[in-house]
Chain A
């Protein structure tokens, strides 16, 4: 049995998952990262993407948008603004999110424009990754 860590996924409205996992891959702002037992304590922000936790029962995947993840050697806590299990993800939901992001990009100030456009691109790749 591989070494495990405790994985919590919390959204503002409810706790989505609290399981023991062997590895958790996180769509971090600066690129995907995978946390395993003994990982250096890290706090990172999230970009929209797919979060995967490998547990004894199989892989559980969630689509997350902004938030942050806190990693210690034995726990991973992800606080996501919005999180949806991949099974429940539908094309329309994603399209809504993409539209929302585009709206933001349109009204964003010049210095925020890059970030907002990155958000749109992240959303689009999220849609591709989810297979819609």
Chain B
């Protein structure tokens, strides 16, 4: 049985913890709103891009000289996994779910005799993957200093990926990130970006016949690298919103748990205090009777 003093200290400490988690939850809620707005603002661009690209890609797919970003290198020997996680912890299962998906994919590929290379974005995923796949790391993108994810960040990552692709370092690239569904649900997603893949339903909507200037092939060659950057940007934004959502619900749980704990400790504290008083009373009465 802990002493009264110890209980009192314990209650005070849990109360402080609750204040901190409460504050973190509110900060996450504010950041989530901003992240969602950013994701919303980026959507029209990504949608138009995807629609135009899928139209072009469908037309060019059968051609002999289709760009390698679209048709691939002809083999799928070397895979690049781009694992996007957060820079900070205390966000529940956010990072573990991404890492779990990436790890499963990596093990699967290795079991099939493929070569796997891993590019990490965000240090949390890097820490979790280092033990199993440390030797497969080819690079790391640090976004610790970035307060607001901008398109330039995505461009930097994309040009890194493209440079590696042009140097023949890999055949297939896949992005791993959490797609934002709601505050309580984020879906870990694997999206293949090289060779480019497009949703079929988007292609059907752009059935208009366009004139292309300069030429269809030139436009496709110009847009494919931009499309990689756009997809990276979308993934970064989705991930940003998911991270804040996950942190918000994790901190909400922590706040609630701290509240429960305070109640339990308070009851224990009151009981011990009462017991001490009773003991003292019995001692006084027994002393008086003995006289």
Q: Which residues of A contact B (CB under 8 A)?
A: 8, 10-15, 28-30, 33, 40-45, 66-68, 70, 72, 77, 79, 81-82
Interface: B201 (CB within 8 A)? no
Min CB distance A29 to B, Å, is: 6
The answer to whether A15 touches B226, judged by C-beta atoms less than 8 angstroms apart, is no
What is the bound-complex CA distance between A66 and B211, given in angstroms? 19
Interface string of B38-65 (1 = CB under 8 A from A): 1001101110110010001000000000
A41-B209, A45-B214 known; 8 new pairs, CB 8 Å cut-off, are A12-B46, A12-B233, A14-B41, A42-B211, A44-B214, A45-B222, A45-B223, A79-B45
The answer to whether A43 touches B44, judged by C-beta atoms less than 8 angstroms apart, is no
The answer to whether B49 touches A28, judged by C-beta atoms less than 8 angstroms apart, is no
Min CB distance B205 to A, Å, is: 12
A-B contact pairs, 11 of them (CB 8 A): A10-B44, A14-B41, A30-B214, A42-B210, A42-B211, A44-B213, A45-B223, A68-B52, A72-B208, A81-B151, A82-B151
The answer to whether A67 touches B226, judged by C-beta atoms less than 8 angstroms apart, is yes
Min CB distance B54 to A, Å, is: 13
List chain B residues, Cβ under 8 A from A67.
Answer: 226
Interface: B6 (CB within 8 A)? no
The answer to whether A81 touches B219, judged by C-beta atoms less than 8 angstroms apart, is no
What is the bound-complex CA distance between A81 and B38, given in angstroms? 16
- Asked whether A11 and B151 contact (CB < 8 A) given A41-B208, A79-B48, the answer is yes
- Asked whether A30 and B41 contact (CB < 8 A) given A68-B52, A81-B226, the answer is no
Q: Give the most central of A10, A33, A43: most B CB within 10 Å.
A: A43
The answer to whether B52 touches A12, judged by C-beta atoms less than 8 angstroms apart, is no
Which listed residue (A11, A15, A43, A81) contacts B52, Cβ 8 A? A43
Min CB distance A9 to B, Å, is: 10
List chain B residues, Cβ under 8 A from A81.
Answer: 151, 226
Residue of A nearest to B56 (CB): A43
What is the bound-complex CA distance between A72 and B48, given in angstroms? 13
- For the side of the interface on B, what is the size category? 20 to 34
Interface: B150 (CB within 8 A)? yes
What is the bound-complex CA distance between A8 and B3, given in angstroms? 70
Which listed residue (B41, B219, B230) contacts A15, Cβ 8 A? B41
The answer to whether A40 touches B214, judged by C-beta atoms less than 8 angstroms apart, is no
List chain B residues, Cβ under 8 A from A14.
Answer: 41-42
Interface: B218 (CB within 8 A)? yes
Min CB distance B89 to A, Å, is: 28
What is the bound-complex CA distance between A44 and B56, given in angstroms? 12
Min CB distance B218 to A, Å, is: 7
- Asked whether A43 and B219 contact (CB < 8 A) given A29-B213, A29-B214, the answer is yes
List chain A residues, Cβ under 8 A from B56.
Answer: 43
Q: Give the most central of B49, B211, B213: most A CB within 10 Å.
A: B213
The answer to whether B48 touches A77, judged by C-beta atoms less than 8 angstroms apart, is yes
Min CB distance A36 to B, Å, is: 15
- Asked whether A40 and B213 contact (CB < 8 A) given A10-B48, A14-B41, the answer is no
User: Nearest 8 A-B pairs (CB), nearest first?
Assistant: A44-B213, A12-B151, A42-B211, A14-B41, A10-B45, A43-B210, A41-B210, A12-B45
List chain A residues, Cβ under 8 A from B222.
Answer: 45, 66, 68
